[in-house]
Protein backbone atom coordinates (compact mmCIF):
# COMPACT_ATOMS: atom_id res chain seq x y z
CA UNK A 1 0.00 0.00 0.00
CA UNK A 2 1.05 3.58 -0.79
CA UNK A 3 -0.45 6.04 1.69
CA UNK A 4 -0.65 9.67 0.53
CA UNK A 5 -1.59 12.57 2.80
CA UNK A 6 -3.35 15.54 1.18
CA UNK A 7 -5.94 16.54 3.81
CA UNK A 8 -6.95 19.83 2.20
CA UNK A 9 -9.45 21.12 -0.41
CA UNK A 10 -10.40 20.94 -4.09
CA UNK A 11 -7.56 23.09 -5.43
CA UNK A 12 -5.02 21.27 -3.28
CA UNK A 13 -6.12 17.88 -4.60
CA UNK A 14 -6.21 19.13 -8.20
CA UNK A 15 -2.67 20.51 -7.99
CA UNK A 16 -1.49 17.22 -6.50
CA UNK A 17 -2.74 15.14 -9.46
CA UNK A 18 0.59 15.05 -11.36
CA UNK A 19 2.33 13.75 -8.23
CA UNK A 20 -0.41 11.18 -7.60
CA UNK A 21 -0.06 9.93 -11.17
CA UNK A 22 3.69 9.78 -10.74
CA UNK A 23 3.20 7.54 -7.71
CA UNK A 24 0.82 5.34 -9.67
CA UNK A 25 3.47 4.86 -12.38
CA UNK A 26 6.20 4.21 -9.82
CA UNK A 27 4.22 1.63 -7.84
CA UNK A 28 1.88 -0.06 -10.36
CA UNK A 29 1.25 -3.08 -8.18
CA UNK A 30 0.39 -1.18 -4.99
CA UNK A 31 -3.01 0.27 -4.07
CA UNK A 32 -2.88 4.02 -3.50
CA UNK A 33 -4.80 5.23 -0.46
CA UNK A 34 -5.39 8.96 -0.15
CA UNK A 35 -5.85 10.46 3.32
CA UNK A 36 -8.12 13.44 2.67
CA UNK A 37 -11.52 14.84 3.72
CA UNK A 38 -14.34 12.38 2.93
CA UNK A 39 -16.25 14.94 0.84
CA UNK A 40 -13.39 14.92 -1.69
CA UNK A 41 -14.02 11.26 -2.61
CA UNK A 42 -15.82 12.07 -5.91
CA UNK A 43 -12.90 14.21 -7.06
CA UNK A 44 -10.33 11.65 -5.94
CA UNK A 45 -12.10 9.08 -8.13
CA UNK A 46 -11.84 11.40 -11.15
CA UNK A 47 -8.04 11.46 -10.88
CA UNK A 48 -7.78 7.78 -11.86
CA UNK A 49 -4.82 7.54 -9.50
CA UNK A 50 -6.52 6.80 -6.17
CA UNK A 51 -7.89 3.39 -5.20
CA UNK A 52 -9.40 4.36 -1.86
CA UNK A 53 -9.96 7.49 0.19
CA UNK A 54 -9.17 7.31 3.90
CA UNK A 55 -11.19 10.06 5.63
CA UNK A 56 -8.89 12.61 7.23
CA UNK A 57 -10.13 16.13 7.99
CA UNK A 58 -6.84 17.62 9.08
CA UNK A 59 -3.64 17.20 11.02
CA UNK A 60 -5.46 16.74 14.33
CA UNK A 61 -6.72 13.37 13.08
CA UNK A 62 -5.19 10.05 14.07
CA UNK A 63 -4.69 7.58 11.24
CA UNK A 64 -4.71 3.81 11.84
CA UNK A 65 -1.51 1.76 11.89
CA UNK A 66 -1.73 0.70 8.26
CA UNK A 67 1.93 -0.30 7.86
CA UNK A 68 2.12 1.10 4.31
CA UNK A 69 5.08 0.23 2.15
CA UNK A 70 5.51 3.95 1.48
CA UNK A 71 3.89 7.00 3.08
CA UNK A 72 4.00 10.19 1.01
CA UNK A 73 3.50 13.66 2.47
CA UNK A 74 1.81 15.82 -0.18
CA UNK A 75 0.26 17.95 2.56
CA UNK A 76 3.01 20.24 3.81
CA UNK A 77 6.55 20.61 5.07
CA UNK A 78 6.02 19.18 8.56
CA UNK A 79 6.59 18.47 11.32
CA UNK A 80 2.95 17.80 12.24
CA UNK A 81 2.08 16.20 8.91
CA UNK A 82 5.24 14.07 9.09
CA UNK A 83 4.24 12.84 12.55
CA UNK A 84 0.74 11.94 11.37
CA UNK A 85 2.20 9.70 8.68
CA UNK A 86 4.90 8.18 10.88
CA UNK A 87 2.17 7.03 13.27
CA UNK A 88 0.89 4.71 10.52
CA UNK A 89 4.23 2.84 10.77
CA UNK A 90 5.37 3.06 7.14
CA UNK A 91 8.44 1.24 5.92
CA UNK A 92 9.49 4.41 4.10
CA UNK A 93 8.48 8.09 4.26
CA UNK A 94 8.77 10.49 1.31
CA UNK A 95 8.60 14.07 2.53
CA UNK A 96 10.19 17.49 2.54
CA UNK A 97 12.80 17.85 5.24
CA UNK A 98 13.36 14.10 5.12
CA UNK A 99 14.62 14.63 1.58
CA UNK A 100 14.56 17.87 -0.45
CA UNK A 101 14.29 21.33 1.05
CA UNK A 102 11.00 23.24 0.99
CA UNK A 103 10.84 26.39 -1.16
CA UNK A 104 8.31 29.15 -0.51
CA UNK A 105 8.63 30.65 -4.01
CA UNK A 106 7.54 27.50 -5.89
CA UNK A 107 4.31 26.77 -7.73
CA UNK A 108 2.23 24.16 -5.91
CA UNK A 109 2.21 21.72 -8.85
CA UNK A 110 5.97 21.95 -9.38
CA UNK A 111 6.68 21.53 -5.66
CA UNK A 112 5.36 17.99 -5.36
CA UNK A 113 6.80 16.83 -8.68
CA UNK A 114 10.21 18.11 -7.55
CA UNK A 115 9.89 16.17 -4.32
CA UNK A 116 9.18 12.96 -6.21
CA UNK A 117 12.14 13.55 -8.52
CA UNK A 118 14.42 13.94 -5.52
CA UNK A 119 13.47 10.36 -4.61
CA UNK A 120 14.05 9.12 -8.16
CA UNK A 121 10.38 9.11 -9.17
CA UNK A 122 8.77 11.04 -12.03
CA UNK A 123 5.97 13.58 -12.11
CA UNK A 124 4.65 15.33 -15.22
CA UNK A 125 3.69 18.90 -14.24
CA UNK A 126 1.34 19.18 -17.22
CA UNK A 127 -0.61 16.04 -16.35
CA UNK A 128 -3.51 17.91 -14.71
CA UNK A 129 -6.51 16.45 -16.54
CA UNK A 130 -9.41 14.83 -14.71
CA UNK A 131 -12.07 12.46 -16.02
CA UNK A 132 -15.18 14.50 -16.80
CA UNK A 133 -18.66 13.40 -15.65
CA UNK A 134 -21.56 13.75 -18.07
CA UNK A 135 -23.03 17.25 -17.95
CA UNK A 136 -26.49 18.01 -16.65
CA UNK A 137 -26.37 21.56 -18.01
CA UNK A 138 -23.73 22.04 -20.72
CA UNK A 139 -22.52 25.32 -22.13
CA UNK A 140 -23.12 27.57 -19.13
CA UNK A 141 -20.97 30.46 -17.99
CA UNK A 142 -20.12 29.99 -14.32
CA UNK A 143 -19.65 32.86 -11.91
CA UNK A 144 -18.19 31.61 -8.63
CA UNK A 145 -17.86 34.43 -6.06
CA UNK A 146 -16.79 32.47 -2.99
CA UNK A 147 -13.44 31.51 -1.48
CA UNK A 148 -12.43 30.12 1.88
CA UNK A 149 -10.69 33.34 2.90
CA UNK A 150 -12.32 36.75 2.72
CA UNK A 151 -9.01 38.11 1.49
CA UNK A 152 -9.52 36.13 -1.74
CA UNK A 153 -13.11 37.27 -2.41
CA UNK A 154 -13.70 39.95 -5.02
CA UNK A 155 -16.57 42.28 -3.97
CA UNK A 156 -20.02 40.77 -4.65
CA UNK A 157 -21.32 43.87 -6.47
CA UNK A 158 -18.50 43.48 -9.01
CA UNK A 159 -19.29 39.80 -9.58
CA UNK A 160 -22.93 40.80 -10.07
CA UNK A 161 -21.92 43.45 -12.63
CA UNK A 162 -19.86 40.88 -14.56
CA UNK A 163 -22.73 38.37 -14.46
CA UNK A 164 -25.17 41.03 -15.71
CA UNK A 165 -22.88 42.05 -18.58
CA UNK A 166 -22.24 38.46 -19.71
CA UNK A 167 -25.92 37.51 -19.47
CA UNK A 168 -26.74 40.59 -21.54
CA UNK A 169 -24.29 39.33 -24.15
CA UNK A 170 -26.06 35.99 -24.53
CA UNK A 171 -24.29 33.86 -21.91
CA UNK A 172 -26.33 31.35 -19.88
CA UNK A 173 -24.92 32.50 -16.53
CA UNK A 174 -25.12 30.40 -13.36
CA UNK A 175 -23.76 31.18 -9.91
CA UNK A 176 -22.12 28.39 -7.91
CA UNK A 177 -20.81 27.97 -4.39
CA UNK A 178 -20.92 25.84 -1.26
CA UNK A 179 -24.03 25.63 0.95
CA UNK A 180 -22.46 28.23 3.25
CA UNK A 181 -22.04 30.54 0.25
CA UNK A 182 -25.67 30.25 -0.87
CA UNK A 183 -26.70 33.66 0.59
CA UNK A 184 -23.81 35.33 -1.26
CA UNK A 185 -24.72 33.57 -4.50
CA UNK A 186 -28.41 34.46 -4.13
CA UNK A 187 -27.47 38.10 -3.62
CA UNK A 188 -25.48 38.07 -6.87
CA UNK A 189 -28.23 36.31 -8.82
CA UNK A 190 -30.75 38.93 -7.70
CA UNK A 191 -28.43 41.90 -8.25
CA UNK A 192 -27.55 40.69 -11.74
CA UNK A 193 -31.18 40.14 -12.65
CA UNK A 194 -30.62 36.45 -13.42
CA UNK A 195 -33.44 33.89 -13.44
CA UNK A 196 -34.00 31.70 -10.39
CA UNK A 197 -32.56 28.72 -12.27
CA UNK A 198 -29.16 30.47 -12.24
CA UNK A 199 -28.82 29.83 -8.51
CA UNK A 200 -26.75 26.63 -8.14
CA UNK A 201 -24.86 27.31 -4.90
CA UNK A 202 -25.47 24.65 -2.30
CA UNK A 203 -27.38 22.35 -4.66
CA UNK A 204 -24.55 20.98 -6.81
CA UNK A 205 -22.47 18.11 -5.45
CA UNK A 206 -18.75 17.91 -6.17
CA UNK A 207 -19.05 15.37 -8.99
CA UNK A 208 -21.84 17.37 -10.64
CA UNK A 209 -19.82 20.56 -10.20
CA UNK A 210 -16.91 18.92 -12.00
CA UNK A 211 -19.20 17.98 -14.88
CA UNK A 212 -20.62 21.51 -14.96
CA UNK A 213 -17.13 23.04 -15.18
CA UNK A 214 -15.88 20.44 -17.63
CA UNK A 215 -18.60 21.29 -20.14
CA UNK A 216 -18.91 25.01 -19.39
CA UNK A 217 -18.44 27.84 -21.84
CA UNK A 218 -16.52 29.96 -19.33
CA UNK A 219 -15.63 30.32 -15.65
CA UNK A 220 -15.13 33.60 -13.77
CA UNK A 221 -13.88 33.15 -10.21
CA UNK A 222 -11.33 34.08 -7.60
CA UNK A 223 -8.31 32.00 -6.67
CA UNK A 224 -10.15 28.99 -5.29
CA UNK A 225 -10.74 25.29 -5.99
CA UNK A 226 -13.13 25.63 -8.93
CA UNK A 227 -10.45 27.52 -10.89
CA UNK A 228 -8.28 24.40 -10.76
CA UNK A 229 -11.16 22.34 -12.16
CA UNK A 230 -11.26 24.72 -15.14
CA UNK A 231 -7.54 24.15 -15.64
CA UNK A 232 -8.03 20.38 -15.45
CA UNK A 233 -10.73 20.46 -18.12
CA UNK A 234 -9.29 23.14 -20.39
CA UNK A 235 -12.40 25.28 -19.79
CA UNK A 236 -11.76 28.97 -20.56
CA UNK A 237 -11.42 30.86 -17.30
CA UNK A 238 -10.80 34.31 -15.88
CA UNK A 239 -9.31 33.99 -12.40
CA UNK A 240 -8.75 36.94 -10.07
CA UNK A 241 -5.73 36.65 -7.78
CA UNK A 242 -4.91 38.17 -4.41
CA UNK A 243 -3.12 38.00 -2.03
CA UNK A 244 -1.18 35.08 -3.57
CA UNK A 245 0.03 35.61 -7.18
CA UNK A 246 -0.69 33.20 -10.04
CA UNK A 247 2.97 32.18 -10.29
CA UNK A 248 2.39 30.17 -7.09
CA UNK A 249 -1.17 28.86 -7.62
CA UNK A 250 -2.28 29.90 -11.11
CA UNK A 251 -2.91 27.94 -14.31
CA UNK A 252 0.05 26.97 -16.51
CA UNK A 253 1.17 30.11 -18.36
CA UNK A 254 1.29 28.29 -21.70
CA UNK A 255 -2.49 27.74 -21.78
CA UNK A 256 -4.03 30.84 -23.38
CA UNK A 257 -7.62 29.86 -22.56
CA UNK A 258 -6.92 30.77 -18.92
CA UNK A 259 -6.52 34.42 -17.96
CA UNK A 260 -5.01 35.12 -14.54
CA UNK A 261 -5.53 38.73 -13.41
CA UNK A 262 -3.05 39.90 -10.78
CA UNK A 263 -2.66 43.52 -9.69
CA UNK A 264 -0.24 42.89 -6.82
CA UNK A 265 3.52 43.05 -6.86
CA UNK A 266 4.89 40.42 -4.48
CA UNK A 267 3.80 37.17 -2.90
CA UNK A 268 2.52 37.71 0.61
CA UNK A 269 2.50 34.31 2.36
CA UNK A 270 2.31 36.09 5.71
CA UNK A 271 -0.59 38.34 4.69
CA UNK A 272 -2.52 39.75 7.65
CA UNK A 273 -5.71 37.74 8.27
CA UNK A 274 -8.98 39.50 7.72
CA UNK A 275 -12.31 39.38 5.96
CA UNK A 276 -11.85 42.31 3.55
CA UNK A 277 -10.71 41.63 -0.03
CA UNK A 278 -6.98 42.01 -0.55
CA UNK A 279 -5.84 45.27 -2.26
CA UNK A 280 -4.67 43.27 -5.30
CA UNK A 281 -8.29 42.20 -5.83
CA UNK A 282 -9.74 45.64 -5.19
CA UNK A 283 -7.47 46.98 -7.93
CA UNK A 284 -9.26 44.78 -10.51
CA UNK A 285 -12.16 46.53 -12.25
CA UNK A 286 -15.36 45.11 -13.73
CA UNK A 287 -14.59 46.26 -17.28
CA UNK A 288 -11.24 44.46 -17.25
CA UNK A 289 -12.87 41.19 -16.23
CA UNK A 290 -15.73 41.48 -18.74
CA UNK A 291 -13.29 42.27 -21.56
CA UNK A 292 -11.14 39.25 -20.72
CA UNK A 293 -14.19 37.02 -20.41
CA UNK A 294 -15.57 38.05 -23.79
CA UNK A 295 -12.18 37.60 -25.42
CA UNK A 296 -11.68 34.00 -24.32
CA UNK A 297 -15.29 32.76 -24.18
CA UNK A 298 -15.02 31.30 -27.65
CA UNK A 299 -11.49 29.98 -27.25
CA UNK A 300 -11.02 26.49 -28.72
CA UNK A 301 -10.01 24.93 -25.42
CA UNK A 302 -7.30 22.29 -25.20
CA UNK A 303 -9.88 20.15 -23.44
CA UNK A 304 -8.80 17.06 -21.52
CA UNK A 305 -12.33 15.69 -21.11
CA UNK A 306 -12.66 11.96 -21.07
Per-residue model confidence (pLDDT) at position 265? 67
**Domain range summary for the chain, segments of one domain joined by +:** 2-118, 141-296
Per-residue model confidence (pLDDT) at position 135? 86
pLDDT in tens, 279-302: 999 999 999 999 999 999 977 653
State the pLDDT confidence band at 98, using cuts at 50, 70 and 90: confident
Distance in angstroms between the alpha carbons of the first and the last residue of the chain: 27
The yes-or-no verdict on residue 153 having pLDDT over 50 is yes
Per-residue model confidence (pLDDT) at position 99? 85
Per-residue model confidence (pLDDT) at position 157? 97
Of 146, 147, 195, the closest CA to residue 167 belongs to: 195
**Packing angle of the helix pair 206-214, 225-233 (nearest 10 deg):** 50
pLDDT in tens, 240-273: 999 999 999 999 999 999 999 999 865 455 445 5
Architecture of domain 2-118: 3-Layer(aba) Sandwich (3.40)
Distance between CA atoms of residues 227 and 272, nearest Å: 24
Contact 162, 290 (CB under 8 A): yes
Q: What is the average pLDDT across 126-136?
A: 94
As a CATH number, domain 141-296 is 3.40.50.2000
**Share in percent of the chain as helix, strand, coil (round to 5):** 35, 15, 50
Per-residue model confidence (pLDDT) at position 275? 79
pTM: 0.94
Residue-wise burial string across 244-283, b where 16 or more C-beta atoms lie within 10 A, e elsewhere: bbbebbbbeeebebbbbbbbbeeebeebeeeeebbebbee
Distance between CA atoms of residues 89 and 67, nearest Å: 5
pLDDT in tens, 25-77: 999 999 999 999 999 999 999 999 999 999 999 999 899 999 999 999 999 99
Same fold across 2-118 and 141-296 = yes
Residue-wise burial string across 16-28, b where 16 or more C-beta atoms lie within 10 A, e elsewhere: bbbbbbbbbebbe
Per-residue model confidence (pLDDT) at position 274? 64
The yes-or-no verdict on residue 113 having pLDDT over 60 is yes
Amino acid sequence: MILVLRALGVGDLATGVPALRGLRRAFPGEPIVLAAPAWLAPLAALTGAVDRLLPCDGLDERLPELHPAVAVNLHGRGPQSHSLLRATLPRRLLAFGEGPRWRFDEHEVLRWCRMLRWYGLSGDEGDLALACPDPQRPGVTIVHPGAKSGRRRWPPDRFAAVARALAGGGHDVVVTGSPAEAPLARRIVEAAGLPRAAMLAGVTGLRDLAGLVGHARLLVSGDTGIAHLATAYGTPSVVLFGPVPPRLWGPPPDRPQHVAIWRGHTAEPGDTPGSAPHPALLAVGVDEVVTAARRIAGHPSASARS
